[in-house]
Amino acid sequence: MGNCVICGTPADGPICSSHEQDVLFEFHGSSPEQLTPGRFYKGTVDGFADFGVFIDIGDRVTGLLHKSELDSRLESLDWDQGDTVYVEVIGVRDNGNIDLSWSIRQSEREFRGKLIQDGTDVHLPNEDAESEEPETEEPETEGSSAADDSESDSNDDSASESTSEPKSEPTPERTSDPSATTDGSGNAVGSATVSAQTEIPERVTVETLGDRVGDRVRIEGEIVSTSQTSGPTVFELRDETAVVDCAAFKEAGVRAYPEVDTGDIARLTGEVELRNNELQVETEQLDALTEEEKTTVEDRLAQALEDEARPADVDLLGDDSAVEAIRDDIRDAAGAIRRAVIESRPIIVRHNANAEGYVAGAAIEHAVLPLVRDEHARSDAQYHYFDRRPLEDGFYDMEDATKDATIMLDNRERHEEKLPLFVLVDAGSTVESSDGLSLLDIYGAPHVVVDTHYPDTDVADTADSVVNPYLGESGDDVTVGVLGANVAAHVNADVRDDVSHLPAVSYWEDTPSEYVELADDAGYDENHVTALREAVALEAYYQSYEDKRELITDLLFEHEKRDLAEHVSEQFRTKLENELDTAEPNLTVRGANGVTFTVLDTDAYTHRFDFPSTAVLLDALHRHDMTGQAGSQNVTLGLAEDEVHIRSDGDINVRDIADSVRDRAPEAGIVPVGTKDGKFEFLRGERNEALDAVIEAVSAELN
């Protein structure tokens, strides 16, 4: 028995089962059967094939990372033979073949430690070291010890960058015994003579550290995250300019400077180094500041944050009066997103899983990712500080919120992350989202709403910022793609030209001329805009539960990949036309009070588990107006087993007519869902009564 190096609980070895996936394993065994599925291993690229990448795990076994397990296309990998990579073992077959999966963590220091696996035995890296005392009398520093324990794979690369002179401890850490060196917490380590550097270096900003590699510096700011590895403790420190990782070492797997917590304002002294081409400060001393010192730094951070977070008032995309009416709301939402980036707060974009939601969510993603990369020295920061997750039906319900809350609380507990900023796109304005948003409020997780759904009273008011054209008194003809692109242009003015074609992509018909011209100026003619819209709609259906960033990026932002959009849109048209051909002969038409109702039994006359979805099919049917009578108002109804979807020329708000429907079918258990062009849910046994009640109530409302 031993204790887990991360949480300290009793464990059968150096790591407990709940933290086994938090550490990196270096395999020194000799057979595939010794590998443990679910663990992450350090590997070396051995070769490439059409179907994947061969990875050497240790010196004696090789596994296959199949292309289906990659987060991007095989040809887009920037790996070369011999490169060090990090993979998860997902299975070992009876014939000895090893199945691997890609790890989002592609830097050793992104794991919370490293363990050595000899066969089936697991131990700390320092247990491999020779037991005899070193011959030199020069002291080890905290920074160099950390590197020895946790960065062994980069020693060769970093050796030429390290200074040959020993680092000495600052004055506060000297002991009265001249033969003892302290560890940064007052504990004596080693037996070398201290050569104290009493001079405190001048304060520098994080953004200048790239020019100070090898220098001893002092930085001041907020500790925005802390992670414990099997070697050093890694602190992320943010000042008024940027964020940098700082490694501090006490002893293997033991928290250095436990008195300094995430959120503290601190002063750090150390040497600037490059590890795996990423900046890192090897910490000599770290102190939480006194109240007076803290106030000075906090004021400096707050002023810089305010100056940087508030976006410049860039030109809106197109001369659109409805968008102009909510210009300030757009700037406020963009400012909240920019502030989250600067504060090292993760950003989670939750968007409707349809074409419009994907266009708007991808626009915001395209604006935020460069800011995240600029803010953080870590090469994989964009995967840690930004995520985009589709939403079914455009509602943020308790199921969605519970999943998000579970992930964010786990990340806060295990990695001391800040609670994320949630950006609700094409969702968050109606009561269906109120319970989910309330759960976020309980935990104090901020959220922004960018939506075009007709808002229910007080629901959107719970957000920190709301962008909704109905709040500007003019929301009928604005798509969420228009709003998302405008927010993106305010978040990051550098991407304005990149997103200028997206408003046109988000319209299925009657695209305003100003957005058609914007797309044309950006090199997207009408045919290609149509292809993009159709391609994104198809991929939105197949990615409804999990987003793949690269595919949507290729579709919407890569000019040279136009053939991709054409190829996917052709599949969209084929599938949609086949479904329309199936549906049209089975439509029924009913008239009531001058209103034409086109009804499709979606359970009986659609392929329910393939594209298009009910929503896409009904939208297409209503646009085609196959059976509408001249001079009448047209309503399309999609009748399922226990719900009826409404598409109307008059934008029927199901909330407004819910009581009328209930009165006409009191036994049907009528429940309105959504607002304009929403749906009614009912009891299956009252299906015919519910349909009649909806038709009567809608016709009365339109007359």
* Burial of residue 98 (number of CB atoms within 10 Å: 0-12, 13-18, 19+): buried
pTM given for the model: 0.64
pLDDT of residue 190: 32
pLDDT at 185: 36
pLDDT at residue number 278: 82
**119 φ/ψ sector (left φ>0, alpha ψ -120 to 50, else beta):** left
β partners of residue 66: 52
Residue found by looking up tokens 């800040």 in the block: 418
Dihedrals phi, psi of 418, to nearest 5 degrees: -70, 155
Six-digit token string for 485? 């692109």
Task: Identify which has the larger pLDDT, 327 or 184.
Answer: 327
Task: Map out the domains of the chain with their CATH numbers.
Answer: 2-123 (2.40.50.140), 141-303 (2.40.50.140), 321-570 (3.90.1640.30), 587-702 (3.10.310)
Q: What confidence tens digit (pLDDT) does each residue in 132-142 have?
A: 444 444 444 44
Give strand pairing partners of 387.
348
Distances (CA, A) of 455 to 421, 435, 446, 449: 21, 15, 19, 11
What is the predicted pLDDT for the residue at 138? 42
Q: If residue 553 lies in a helix (H) or strand (E), which one and from where to where?
A: helix 549-557
Provide mean pLDDT across the span 119-138.
61
Report residue 24's pLDDT band, with 50, 70 and 90 as the boundaries: very high
Cα separation, 200 vs 222, whole angstroms: 20
What is the spatial distance between Cα 267 and Cα 272, in angstroms, rounded to a whole number?
Answer: 15
The Cα-based distances of 541 to 544, 612, 641 in angstroms read: 5, 8, 21
pLDDT over 60 at 25, yes or no: yes
Residue 378 φ/ψ, nearest 5 degrees: -70, 130
Q: What is the pLDDT of residues 425-477, one digit of tens each?
A: 999 999 999 999 999 999 999 999 999 988 887 776 778 899 999 887 666 68
pLDDT digits (tens, 9 = 90+) for 71-105: 777 777 888 888 999 999 999 988 788 999 988 88
pLDDT band, very low/low/confident/very high, at 550 (cuts 50, 70, 90) = confident
pLDDT class of 151 with cuts at 50, 70, 90? very low
Q: Token pair for residue 15?
A: 């790591």
Residue 269 Cα to chain centre, angstroms: 33
How far is Cα 289 from Cα 302, in angstroms, rounded to an integer?
Answer: 16
User: CA torsion 449→453→458→460, rounded to 10°?
Assistant: 0
Express each pLDDT in 250-302 by its tens digit: 877 788 999 998 889 999 999 999 877 788 999 999 999 988 889 989 888 88
For 166-189, letters b (16+ CB in 10 Å) and e give bbbbbeebbeeeeebbbbbbeeeb
Q: Which residues contact 164 (CB under 8 A, 6 or more apart)?
A: none
* pLDDT tens digit sequence for 179-229: 333 343 333 333 222 333 457 888 999 999 999 999 999 999 999 888 887
Residue 141 has which token pair?
Answer: 């520093």
Looking at 152-239, list the stretches that DSSP marks H as alpha helix, in order from N- to C-terminal side. Answer: 155-159
Contact by Cβ (8 Å): 311, 334: yes
